[in-house]
Amino acid sequence: MTTIADLFGIDLSIVQAPMAGVQDARLAVAVSNAGGLGSLPCALLSPDGIRRELEAIRNATSRAFNVNFFCHEVPAPNPERESRWRAALRPYYDELGIDPSTVPAGSGRAVFSADTVDLLSAFEPPVVSFHFGLPATDLLERVRRWGGKILASATTVDEARWLEARGVDAIIAQGLEAGGHRGMFLSNDVTTQVGTVALVRQIVTAVRVPVIAAGGIADAQGVAAAMALGAAGVQVGTAFLLCPEATTSPIHRAALASDAARHTAITNIFTGRPARGIVNRVMRELGPMTELAPAFPLAGAALGPLRAKAEAQGRDDFSPLWTGQNAAGCRNVTAATLTRELTSAS
Ligand SMILES: Cc1cc2nc3c(=O)[nH]c(=O)nc-3n(C[C@H](O)[C@H](O)[C@H](O)COP(=O)(O)O)c2cc1C
């Protein structure tokens, strides 16, 4: 079987999951230099930010690394939905003394465009990964021209077949246990989502390309189990959140280190798309899923000032605490140590 270590020319078949908002080049470099595949999430970065982080990676490692993008459709603004959402949040604005008329609209997430490929082509990242489907075929062709390998997340067998038909080099099977956004793109129905053990096995059977298991894998035994199911590698996110190289906020770190981390749920409150995080006040009171949240990524803007004010008071009531169902692997150890430990039983 081809492992992802063979596919990417690296030592260990471990991908550090790209995690927008909680990491930059530093975590990616640490994992790549330890022999895994470090990842740089670009969803929340400006073009200048992407360039800066890629320079930092190229200056700090000669090993393979991955850059990651979201492939969502940019939604048309919907003032009616927006005002319904703000009305639902009104009691919180009143409680925290925020004037709703000062709350800015819209919050962007970078999408993958021809300009992005122009920027990337100066750095020729060895691997490019996508969440929420794939960009246009001509953009993928340009990545392939510099030898870039293409990965994308699938959350169902249908999505895996769809990705294989478009020629991806490997498929990330993202099980329901995974922290952060569900990569789902052929359906909005959360009941279609499958746990990691079932999903990996089904996708391995359905496609011929290598499959990378993701979701709830946090130690060497979990990695060995995923490989026994036929995975060619493993993508681990949550377990890296307490590493010193991650930029995880103090509030998120405190939640991860507490019993609260044992209770996560899928919520659309923070961005408009389903994502898994530690259950907190706004998830309990308005959700975790609600029809009121505007389309991705627009839901986030109205929560921004609530989050900022609550966090300044040391409270996580309005913060997205993206975390998978298995936070047991979260420890304050270096990313290199964790990367090596993940493969020590295989
Ligand atoms: C804090 C956090 C942020 C995430 N951000 C991204 C992202 O920007 N892009 C992406 O493709 N996946 C993202 N994910 C999902 C991961 O790629 C992966 O599916 C998940 O971390 C695997 O499950 P685990 O967290 O249980 O290890 C994120 C996950 C977490 C926990």
Q: Confidence class of residue 223 from pLDDT cuts 50, 70 and 90?
A: very high
d(CA 106, ligand 1 centre) in Å: 23
Q: Confidence class of residue 111 from pLDDT cuts 50, 70 and 90?
A: confident
Q: Which of 16, 181, 182 to mutate to test the pocket of ligand 1 (most atoms within 8 A of CB)?
A: 181
Which residue, judged by its Cα, is nearest atom 5 of ligand 1? 19
Exposure class string for 294-324: b at 16+ Cβ within 10 A, else e: bbbbbbbbbbebbbebbbeeeebbbbbbbbb
Dump pLDDT digits (tens) for 50-71.
Answer: 999 999 999 999 999 999 999 9
Q: Confidence class of residue 345 from pLDDT cuts 50, 70 and 90?
A: low
Dump pLDDT digits (tens) for 181-201.
Answer: 999 999 999 999 999 999 999
Does residue 320 have its Cβ closer than 6 Å to ligand 1?
Answer: no
Instruction: Determine the pLDDT at residue 346.
Output: 44
Q: Confidence class of residue 139 from pLDDT cuts 50, 70 and 90?
A: very high
Instruction: Determine the pLDDT at residue 107.
Output: 59
Comparing 318 with 298, which gets the higher pLDDT?
318
Does residue 31 surpass a pLDDT of 80?
A: yes
Does residue 238 have its Cβ closer than 6 Å to ligand 1?
Answer: yes
Does residue 296 have its Cβ closer than 6 Å to ligand 1?
Answer: no
Instruction: Determine the pLDDT at residue 202.
Output: 98
User: How far does the chain reach from its first CA to its final CA, in angstroms?
Assistant: 15
User: Secondary structure of 260-294 in the HEC alphabet?
Assistant: HHHCEEEECCCCCCCEEEECCHHHHHHCCCCCCCC
C-alpha 55/C-alpha 49 separation (Å) is: 10
pTM over 0.95: yes
* Cβ-based neighbours of 169, under 8 Å, separated by 6 or more: 7, 149, 150, 151, 209, 210
Q: Would you say 255 and 320 are in contact if contact means Cβ atoms under 8 Å apart?
A: no
Q: Which atom of ligand 1 is nearest to the CA of 239?
A: 27
